[in-house]
Structure 1
Amino acid sequence: MFDHIADAMKQPDVVRLDRDTYVLRFEMMKLYSALEAVRHLLATGVVEPGDTLMDSSSGTYGYSLALACHKYGMKCRIVCSTKVDDNVRRQFEMLGAEVDQVRVPPGPLVDKMDQGARLARVAEILETEPGVHWMRQYHDSVHYLGYRECAQFLNKEFGGEPFTLVAGVGTGAASGGLTTALRELNDDVRLVGVEPFESVTFGSDPVEDPVASISGIGSPIVMGNVRHELFDRVHWVGFDAAVSATVELFSRHGVYAGLSSGCNFLAARWEAARETGRPCVFLAADTGHRYAENVYARPGALDHGVLDLAPRRIDSLDQLALPWSVMDWDRRPFHHHLKEHAQ
């Protein structure tokens, strides 16, 4: 029995999709991060009961923080993306969160401007309103802590045997937190990162996706929680391929999930095919409901040819190309690849 709905919602399921491909499916993965971060901050006296906790979010972290604040009796403030629709905004507010939604002009740079505008609003609030604690989901390693419990669950599910984890790079908290804890339990866990083009995190920002950028697994800003030296390989996936893979994941396996899950599914199938007999587990971080219009109802979404695609194998970042590229990262820091790219 659970004491709060957030504790029930964070629990994942492992589902086998085919011989070596598995999905770790969540209703809302970032609850692991938010719940433990708030508990830890209270336990260590960094914040006091009733304080205001604030962060920037394009959706799932904001929802997770609102639920965590609801559980622990904290005030919550969400500086949210232009992508957050009125339905989600109302849910934030009904959970007791105060919502600041940024406005940016429409156009091809809307995603990059959106994140910058959110961080500028966060800075303004911190400067003018005392008593607000910024959760810093992009940079504070406190967000690693919650994934230890999930890592123990996943390690038990696979009996301590070797496997590969495929995760969207995102803020680095889930991919880094899970992998760090897993490797303490099992020294043969590989981490494969997935991100979109136009992200600075692994250097794909010079390659523009002509359709749209994928939020949640990449970023136009540097995120301190990303530890590049944890990653064995990186895949970059374009928007059209991501949409088709997301719809294919649902139509073929019944897993109704978000856009990052489709990207991870595409990469995981390729990874599993390369090494028969080694389980490959990919993260499905949330459900597909907020993608009903812009992904599942998108024209051409039922093009099932995406799984016949093969990625472009590259050795340096200047070879990156749509719709899908892959590169061995070999657990090296990012500056190593920047130097190669500059030569």
Structure 2
Amino acid sequence: MTRFDEVTDALALPRLVRLTDNLVAASFTLMKLVPARHILRTAAARGDIGPGTVVVETTSGTFGLALAMQTALMCRDLVLVSDPVVDAALRRRLVDLGARVEIVAEPDPVGGIQGARLRRLAEVREEYPDTFCPEQYSNPENPRSYAVVAEHLTRSLGQVDCVIGPVGSGGSMCGTVRALRESTPHTAAVGVDTHGSVLFGQPDRPRGLRGVGNSLVPANLDHAVFDEVHWCDAAAAYAATRALHRDHALFQGPTSGAAYLAARWWADRNPEAQCVVMLPDEGYRYQDTVFDDAWLSARELLEPMPAGPVDVDAPASAADGWNRFAWGRRTLADATEEDRVAVR
């Protein structure tokens, strides 16, 4: 048995579960613990977090939970700026861990709700004489923290030929794949996004699937890492989440379902490749939504899992449903320029 000094150490690395002959699930209890604990511990070691420092951040998801867990263990105050999509169960847990949660209700004309949250974050920092912001979207320690995940995969599985996972801040996919490519440059990266997210060149619009995608392009997202990008809508992601539970008894959230949707398809078509799918968090927050047939039916989201994606020749051509684009390790500027050429 392994003894851990803190619960965040015990929960940080994923369980590796073989789903098929060539597809392994990296199943996290809470993936955001990887960057949260690394960023806070690194900052404390550098002297950026002292006894009276207040940690502040903007998040509507599990990065906030990871910060709340680590700051509670470090005995530091935490202020989180979020928006109305943060679910009630998560908010209760954040408050119980000692966090102050600020809710921003109205989006900014430019930057949307994410821009409004960043503006409020700056205002909160003015309230305290000493603050530290982890800045998950731009802090290079975010992707750098995932070197331990890459080491865990290599030590346990040997060569990894492809990593498939959801993209939000860019940290997990970019950090894990870059670390793997130090020894296996051929390792493919398949990013999973959702419609209405600007991350890979789609126009910003309301997103039905939360926990993946963004209204702003974060600095930590290195587009040149990715070989393929898949976009899927909420119905497809929810169906895949339920299939992952039904077929493999893995009880994960809908971002995990979105990743599984693309991973199963990619692994089937590349039987000689050793594939890993990143499953970011567990499904307990979604028992009354994604795992409730009545809730899905009332929103016309109870649909079968689609058989495969529709290939598109440009990001802007991706429509509702499940789409796939051969990104080809290009920058966003290069990919969107080819997008404009294709439209012309």
Asked whether the two chains share a fold, i.e. TM above 0.5, the reply is yes
Aligned to 1:246: 241
Aligned to 1:98: 100
Query: Partners of 2:232 and 2:88 in 1: how far apart?
Result: 29
Shift of 1:301: 5.9
Aligned equivalent of 2:38? 36
Q: Choose which of 213, 219, 235 in structure 1 pairs with 2:214.
A: 219
**Are residues 1:16 and 2:7 paired?**
no
| TM-superposed deviation, 1:87 | 3.0
Q: What amino acid sits opposite 1:218 in the alignment?
A: G
Aligned to 1:268: 263
Q: Report the secondary structure of 1:192's partner residue.
A: strand
Q: Among 37, 46, 49, which residue is 1:47 paired with?
A: 49
Deviation at 1:311, TM superposition (A): 0.9
> Equivalent residue for 2:278?
283
Q: Which runs of 5 or more residues in structure 1 are unaligned?
A: none
In the aligned structure 2, how far is the partner of 1:81 from the partner of 1:295?
20
2:103 and 2:93 map into 1 onto residues whose CA distance is 14
Aligned twin of 2:125: 126
Say whether residues 1:229 and 2:224 are aligned partners.
yes
CA distance in 2, matches of 1:200, 1:85: 23
CA drift at 1:224: 0.9
| d(CA) in 2 for partners of 1:138, 1:249 | 29
Give the deviation of 1:83 after TM superposition: 2.2
Does the alignment pair 1:169 with 2:167? yes
CA distance in 2, matches of 1:181, 1:70: 30
Q: Deviations over 1:5-47 (max 9, x none)?
A: 1111213111111222221000000001000101111112223
Take 1:293 and 1:339, find their aligned partners in 2: how far apart are those partners? 43
In 2, Cα distance between the equivalents of 1:217 and 1:164?
A: 20
| Distance in 2 (alpha carbons) for counterparts of 1:217 and 1:86 | 19
Q: Secondary structure of the residue that 1:145 maps to in structure 2?
A: helix
For the residues of structure 2 that align with 1:201 and 1:302, how far apart are their CA atoms?
27
Aligned residues: 332
Contact 1:245 1:306 in 2 (8 A): yes
How many Å apart are 1:250 and its aligned residue? 0.9
**SS of aligned partner of 2:237:** helix
Q: Deviations over 1:230-268 (max 9, x none)?
A: 111110111111111111111111111111111111100
Q: How does 1:101-120 map to 2 (within 5 A)?
A: 101-104=103-106, 113-120=112-119
Q: Matched residues in 2 for 1:241 and 1:93: separation?
A: 32
Equivalent position of 1:158 in the other structure: 157
CA deviations over 1:46-76 (Å, ceiling 9, x no partner): 2323411111111200010111112223221
**How far apart are 1:302 and its partner, in Å?**
5.7
- Contact (CA 8 Å) 1:42, 1:49: kept in 2 or not? no
The partner residue of 2:199 within 175, 198, 201 is 201
Q: 1:340 aligns with which of 324, 330, 338?
A: 338
Aligned to 1:91, the other structure's residue is in SS state helix
1:315 paired residue among 300, 313, 316: 313
Report the alpha carbon displacement of residue 118 of structure 1 after superposing the two structures with TM. 1.9
Query: Structure 2: 5+ residue runs without aligned partners?
Result: none
Distance 1:194 1:339 in 2: 21
Question: Given that residues 201 and 316 in structure 2 are in contact (C-alpha distance below 8 angstroms), is that contact kept between their aligned partners in structure 1?
Answer: no
Q: Which residue of 1 aligns with 2:182?
A: 184
Matched-pair identity in %: 33
Show the counterpart of 1:326: 324
Deviations 1:160-206 (A, max 9, x none): x2421001111001111111111123323211100001011101226
1:89-123 Cα distance to aligned partner (Å, 9 max, x none): 23212222222122349xxx9xx843333222112
How has the CA–CA distance of structure 1 residues 321 and 87 changed in structure 2, closer, same or farther, with 3 Å as cutoff?
closer
Q: Which moved more, 1:3-12 or 1:170-179?
A: 3-12
What one-letter code is carried by the residue in structure 1 that aligns with 2:146? Y
